A and B are shown apart, each in its own frame.
Chain A
Amino acid sequence: MKITLAEEIKFLRNVPLFSKMNPEELKILALTTDTVIYEDGEVIFTEGDEGNEACIIYSGSVEVYRRSTEGKLIPLNMLGPGEMFGELALFGTGVRTASVKAAEETTVAMISKEKLYQIIKEYPDVAIEMLKVQTQRFARAEARLMANIKDS
C-alpha cells in the first residue's frame, strides 16, 4: 500500500512538469509532498473554496467539473496519473475555479502553495514547465471555444 520514495521519484521523473529536474531535486520534491489517498467519489476540491494546495496524481483518476447557475453539473475534464490539478488557485485569486472529485480510489502527492513557491524559487525550470502545460491547456480551451462558435 505504501509508495516507496524510490517509486515516487521514478514517477515524478516521468511527469512532464518535473522532467527537467535532476535526481537530487526530484528527491527534495518527493520528500516535501504529502501522500493522500481519496476514495471513489470523495470530493477533493470544491469550487469557490479557498485553495492552498495543488495535487499530482500518482494512481487513479479524478473528474473536474463546475456547477452551472441552474445547479447542473458540467463535467470539464478527466485527469489521470502524472497530471496536476489545483495549481490555478495557487497563482490566481486563491479560490478554486472548479470542483474535483475522485473517480476511483486515487492516490495523489499534495503540495502546498508555500512549498511550491519555494521550489520554483530554487528550481525555476519547474515554472517554465508549468507555464508550458498551462499554455497547452489554454490553447486547447481556445480551440474548443472557436469550434463552439463555428457550430452555433
Chain B
Amino acid sequence: MQNRVIRDFIFQHKGRIIVMLIFAAAMVLLNISIIESGKRIIDVLSKSGIEANDKSVTLLRYCSFILIAAIVSGITNYLLGNFYAKYNQSLLCDIRQKLFNHLLSLPQNFYNEHTAGPITTGIMDEVFNIGKFFSKLLLQPVINVITVFFFGFYLLHLNWQLFVAGTLFVPISIIIIPRFARRTKQLTNESWIKRGDMFSYLQEVFTGVGDIRSNQTYLFEQSRMKKRLNDLYAVSIDLENLSSEMSSILKVITYLGPLSIYFFGGVLCIRGGIPVGTIVAATVVLNNLYNPVNELVNFVLEWKQVKVAFDKLNGYFRFEPEKGILPDKKDEVIVNRAIQFNKVKFGFTPEEMLLHDINFTAEEGKKVALVGTSGSGKSLTTSLLTGTYPLSDGVITVGGDNIENIPLYDLRSQIGHVSQAPFMFNDTIKNNIIYSLLRKDCNNGSEIEKWIDYSLFKDIDDPKLLDKQVINVIRDVGFFDDVFAIGLCSKLSKIKNAMTDAEKGSIIQARKSFIQELSQQDSQYIEFYNEGKFLEYCSLLENIVFCPTAEISEIFGSANGFYKLYLKKILAENGLLDSYFNMGLNLVTTDSLLLEKLHKDKSPLLGYINSDSAQVESIIKINERLPLSSDSFHQIERSDPSLFDDISMLALGHTSGKSKIDLITDKIQTEILNLREILKKRLPEETKNRIAFFHPDKYMSSLSISENIVFGNVNPQRKRAKGAINDLLKDVVRKSGIEELIIKVGLEFNIGERGSKLSGGQKQKIAIARIMLKNPSILILDEATAALDAVSQTHITKLIEEKCINKTVLSIAHRLNSIKDYDQIIVFDKGYIVQKGNFEELMQQDGLFKKLFEGSN
C-alpha cells in the first residue's frame, strides 16, 4: 500500500486529467485538418481542367478554414497550458505538504539515519521533478499515442506505399531504448546522491562558518567544495552525453523517414501513380509522426530518472510515523508526576546496549540530578522518558502508568525539556518565547497568536494578559534587563506597528521630563536638536534638512537622491552651489596630499585619522578623480558633473564636531540656518509631510527609543557625558512608567536565523522562559544553564526551587556545585548507574561522584 502513496497523489485529480486529454485530442485533430486542407488546395491548384473561378472559391474556402482552425488551436493550446500549470502546481503543493507533515511526525530513529541535506533536496528538487514529469509528461505519451495513431492512419489513408516507406526506420528507435534506459537510471541515482551530499555539506558549512573563520580552514573547505563540484560535474556530463547520444541517433532516423518518402514517392510520382500534393502532405505528416515517436522514447528515459526520485520519496513515506502526537479530543491530565525507571535497557541495535539496568524513582515534586562523565547515558535516559525511542527492555512509568500506554501528546504535554542548544526560529523574542504554546488553531488573533492553546492556562484567555505573563516570565528568568536594553535601541521604522500613537505620546512625555531633569551642569553633555541652532554633531545635510540622515535615506533611497531631487536646486537658487563645492574641494585638497601619502605607504595611521572613516575614504577616492591642475577645478561643474555632485555631497556629509578640519565659519552657520527655513518653504507639501523633522513634540521612527527620549547628540568630548546621560535616561524611564512599553518593543526584536543576533546565554534564557510559560509538571534540564554566567545560573537555580515546588525535576548537570540541595543524585558511568543518594551521602563515599566533584573544583 505504502508504495502507492505518490501514485495516489498523481491520479487524485482525475477530472483535470480527462479534460486535458480531450483538449490534447482536439489539438491533434485540428492539426490534421490543417494539413488535409493544404493538401486539397495543392491538389486543386495543380489539377488541369478546373476553371479559375472554381479554383478561387476552393482556395478561399480552405484558407478561411485554416484561419479558423489556427485560432481555435491557439485557444485550445492556451487552455491546455493553463490546465497543465494548475495540475502541476497543485500536485507539487500536495506532495510537499504531505511529505513535510509526514517527515515532522517521524521518530528520532529516522533522523539518526537521514541527514537534512538529502531530505531538503527530496522536498524541493525531487518533488519538483516528479511534479513536472507527471503533469507534463504523463499526458505526453497519451497525446503522443493519439497523435501517432491519427497521423499513421492518415498517412495510410493517403497512400499505403508511402506509409510503409515512411515508417520503415521507426523500429530502430524502439530497439535501442533499453540500453539507454538502464544507464540513465544508474547515473540519475548517482547524481541524486551527489546532490544530497552537496546540500548536507553546504548546510554544514554555513551553520559552522564561525568555526571555519576561527580555525582558518578556508582553503581546506574550498578544496572540499571543489571535490564535490567535480563529482557532480562528472555525473552531470555523463548524463548529458548519454542524452545527446540518444537524441543524435533519433535525429538521423528522423531524416531517414522523409528521405525514403521522397525516394519512393518520387518514383511513384514519375510513373504517374500519385499527385504531388500527396507527397507534400506525406512529408508534413511524417514530421508530425516522428516527433511524438521521439518524445515517447525520451519519455521512457525521463521515467527512469523520475523513478529514482519516486523510490526515494516512497521510502520516506514507508517510514512509520509516531502515534498519538497530536491532541486527542479528551483533555486528560496526568495527576501524579512520579517517575519510575524499572530495569530499563536500551540500545539502537540488540548487540550494543547503551543503557544497562537503569533503576530509579523520582517522586512527585522531587529534584533529581543526573551526573556522570560525557557519554555515560544521562541525556539518553531523559530522552527515553519522552518516548523518543522504544525501550529494549524494562518499563518506564509516569504517575504509575507505563509510558507506552500514554498517548505521546499527553506525555509530552507534561514534560518540559530545555536542551543545550534550544531551537530558535527567525522571528521575534516574544514569538520565540510563546513557541511552547502554539498547539491549536484557535482561528483568531495574528498569524502566530491564533495558535496559542489558552487551555494551558487556568486564568488567561486574552492576548493582553498573555503579554503580562510573558513579561513576568522574562523577569523571572533574568531576561528583563536584556530585553529592556534591546527595546531602548529599537527603531520603530524597523518594527512597524510596535507602538500606538498614545504610546508614542508617552515617550514624548518622557523626553520632556528628561530635559527638565537635566541640570545646568549636565546640559553641557548634550546638544539638543534645537530649531534655532547650528548642530556641531550633525552633518551639514542634517543641519539643513533638520532631520537624521537615516530618515532622508529611508524616504529618498539615499542622501544623494534627496540632493539631486531637491537640495541641489535650492542651493543653486540661493547662489550657494559653488560655496558647497568649494567646501568639499577644501576637504579634499587640504589633506589629500597627506592622506594620499599615508594611503600610498599603506600606513596604519590612515585608519587612526580622527574623523569619519567614511569621509576619509571618499576624500581619497575623489582625490583620484580630480584633474591634475588646480587651474581646471572651476571647470569641473561642466566637464564632470558627477564629480561636482560628489564633491558637494562630501561637504554636506561633513560633521564639524567629528572632524578636526576647520571648515564651518560663522557665516556658513548662518547660511545653514537660513537654508533650513527656505527648504521648509520650498519643499512640496506632500514631500514635506513624509519627512519627520526634528521637533520636540514628534516621535521619530528613524531614531531609537533612547535617542527619542534623549533627543540630542551626546558630547563625545566629555568623558562623563555618556554614563551620566544613561543613568538619567534610566531614571526618567522608570519614573515615567514606560518600562513595560519599552519591554513590549524589545519583545518585538527579531532574533535572526537560529537566534544569531543573541548571545548563547540570552538564547538559553529564552528557552527557559519558553518552558516556564508552558508550565509542565515534569521538567528536564539538559545542562540548561551551562551557557549562563555564575550570577544568572544561581538566579535560575533559585527560580527553579521557587517556581517548581510541585514539579518533578530531572537535571543533567556538570557544575556539581549547583545541585547540592537536590533530593537525589544519580551517578552514571558507561551506561550503568553506579551511585545514588544525596550530596552528603555521595561525598562520604569514595566513588565516582567524589572524584567528579573534586575534579570540577
Contact of B276 with A by CB under 8 A: no
Contact of B342 with A by CB under 8 A: no
* Total A-B residue contacts, Cβ distance less than 8 Å: 53
B475-493, CB < 8 A from A? none
Bound form: Cα–Cα A86–B321 in Å: 70
Bound form: Cα–Cα A118–B607 in Å: 11
Q: Give, as a whole number of angstroms, the nearest-CB distance from B456 to chain A.
A: 51
Contact of A31 with B by CB under 8 A: yes
B650-679, CB < 8 A from A? 656-657, 660-662
Contacts of B536 in A (CB 8 A): 2
Contacts of A8 in B (CB 8 A): 660
Contacts of B609 in A (CB 8 A): 28, 31-32
- Encoded as 1 (CB less than 8 Å from any B CB) or 0, chain A from 83 to 112 comes to 000000000000000000000000000000
Give which listed residue, B594, B608, B611, B717, contacts A35 with CB less than 8 A.
B717
Bound form: Cα–Cα A14–B608 in Å: 23
Give which listed residue, B603, B657, B718, B720, contacts A122 with CB less than 8 A.
B603
**Which of B604, B608, B611, B662 is most buried by chain A, counting CB atoms within 10 A of its CB?**
B608
Contact B661 A5 (CB under 8 A): yes
- Total interface residues on B, CB under 8 Å, equals 20
Contact A118 B594 (CB under 8 A): no
Q: Which residue of B lies closest to A9 (CB)?
A: B660
Contact B661 A115 (CB under 8 A): no
Contact A118 B662 (CB under 8 A): no
Contacts of A145 in B (CB 8 A): none
Contacts of A24 in B (CB 8 A): 594
Contact of A39 with B by CB under 8 A: yes
Give which listed residue, A32, A34, A42, contacts B605 with CB less than 8 A.
A32
Contact A115 B660 (CB under 8 A): no
Contacts of B661 in A (CB 8 A): 5
Contacts of A27 in B (CB 8 A): 591, 594
Contact A39 to B720, CB < 8 A, known contacts A2-B536, A5-B661, A34-B610: yes
Give which listed residue, A36, A115, A118, contacts B717 with CB less than 8 A.
A36
Q: Which residue of A lies closest to B611 (CB)?
A: A31
Contact of B719 with A by CB under 8 A: yes
Q: Give, as a whole number of angstroms, the nearest-CB distance from A44 to chain B.
A: 8
Contacts of A2 in B (CB 8 A): 536, 656-657
Contact A42 B720 (CB under 8 A): yes
Q: Which residue of A lies closest to B657 (CB)?
A: A2
Contact of A133 with B by CB under 8 A: no
Give chain B's interface secondary structure class.
loop
Contact B594 A28 (CB under 8 A): yes
Contacts of A33 in B (CB 8 A): 610
Contact A5 B662 (CB under 8 A): yes
Q: Give, as a whole number of angstroms, the nearest-CB distance from A76 to chain B.
A: 22
Contact of A119 with B by CB under 8 A: yes
Contact B719 A36 (CB under 8 A): yes
Bound form: Cα–Cα A36–B717 in Å: 5
- Total interface residues on A, CB under 8 Å, equals 24
Q: Give, as a whole number of angstroms, the nearest-CB distance from B17 to chain A.
A: 74
Contact of B93 with A by CB under 8 A: no
Contact A115 B608 (CB under 8 A): yes
Contact B718 A30 (CB under 8 A): no
Contact B605 A5 (CB under 8 A): no
Contacts of A34 in B (CB 8 A): 610
Contacts of B79 in A (CB 8 A): none
Contact of B442 with A by CB under 8 A: no
Q: Give, as a whole number of angstroms, the nearest-CB distance from B596 to chain A.
A: 12
Q: Give, as a whole number of angstroms, the nearest-CB distance from B589 to chain A.
A: 14
Contacts of A5 in B (CB 8 A): 660-662
Q: Give, as a whole number of angstroms, the nearest-CB distance from B539 to chain A.
A: 16
Bound form: Cα–Cα A39–B717 in Å: 11
Q: Give, as a whole number of angstroms, the nearest-CB distance from B753 to chain A.
A: 35
Contact of A146 with B by CB under 8 A: no
Give which listed residue, B598, B611, B656, B720, contacts A28 with CB less than 8 A.
B598
A1-41, CB < 8 A from B? 2, 4-6, 8, 24, 27-28, 30-39
Contact B720 A118 (CB under 8 A): no
Contact A32 B718 (CB under 8 A): no
Contacts of B598 in A (CB 8 A): 28
Contact B660 A31 (CB under 8 A): yes
Q: Give, as a whole number of angstroms, the nearest-CB distance from B592 to chain A.
A: 12
**Which of A5, A33, A122 is most buried by chain B, counting CB atoms within 10 A of its CB?**
A5
Bound form: Cα–Cα A122–B379 in Å: 59
Contact B719 A118 (CB under 8 A): no
Q: Which residue of B lies closest to A115 (CB)?
A: B608
Contacts of A119 in B (CB 8 A): 605
Contact A37 B608 (CB under 8 A): no
Bound form: Cα–Cα A115–B720 in Å: 23
Bound form: Cα–Cα A118–B605 in Å: 7
- Encoded as 1 (CB less than 8 Å from any A CB) or 0, chain B from 531 to 571 comes to 00000100000000000000000000000000000000000
B600-622, CB < 8 A from A? 603-605, 608-611
Contact A32 to B610, CB < 8 A, known contacts A2-B536, A5-B662, A122-B603: yes
Contact B660 A122 (CB under 8 A): no
Contacts of B662 in A (CB 8 A): 4-6
Contacts of B719 in A (CB 8 A): 36-38, 42
Q: Give, as a whole number of angstroms, the nearest-CB distance from B552 to chain A.
A: 26
Contacts of A35 in B (CB 8 A): 660, 717
Contact A28 B660 (CB under 8 A): no
Give which listed residue, B603, B611, B660, B717, contacts A37 with CB less than 8 A.
B717
A53-101, CB < 8 A from B? none
Bound form: Cα–Cα A35–B610 in Å: 10
B713-764, CB < 8 A from A? 717-720
Give which listed residue, A4, A36, A39, A118, contacts B608 with CB less than 8 A.
A118
Contacts of B594 in A (CB 8 A): 24, 27-28
Bound form: Cα–Cα A6–B662 in Å: 8
Contact A118 B660 (CB under 8 A): no
Q: Give, as a whole number of angstroms, the nearest-CB distance from A13 to chain B.
A: 16
- Encoded as 1 (CB less than 8 Å from any A CB) or 0, chain B from 778 to 793 comes to 0000000000000000
Contact A30 B605 (CB under 8 A): no
Q: Give, as a whole number of angstroms, the nearest-CB distance from B518 to chain A.
A: 16
Contacts of B611 in A (CB 8 A): 31
Q: Give, as a whole number of angstroms, the nearest-CB distance from B586 to chain A.
A: 12
Which A positions have Cβ atoms within 8 angstroms of B? 2, 4-6, 8, 24, 27-28, 30-39, 42, 114-115, 118-119, 122
Can you offer 24 A-B residue contacts whose CB atoms are under 8 A? A2-B656, A2-B657, A4-B660, A4-B662, A5-B661, A5-B662, A6-B662, A28-B598, A28-B605, A30-B660, A31-B591, A31-B610, A31-B611, A31-B660, A34-B610, A35-B717, A36-B717, A37-B719, A38-B719, A39-B718, A39-B720, A118-B604, A118-B605, A122-B603
Shortest Cβ-Cβ A-B pairs, 5 listed: A32-B608, A5-B660, A4-B662, A31-B609, A115-B608
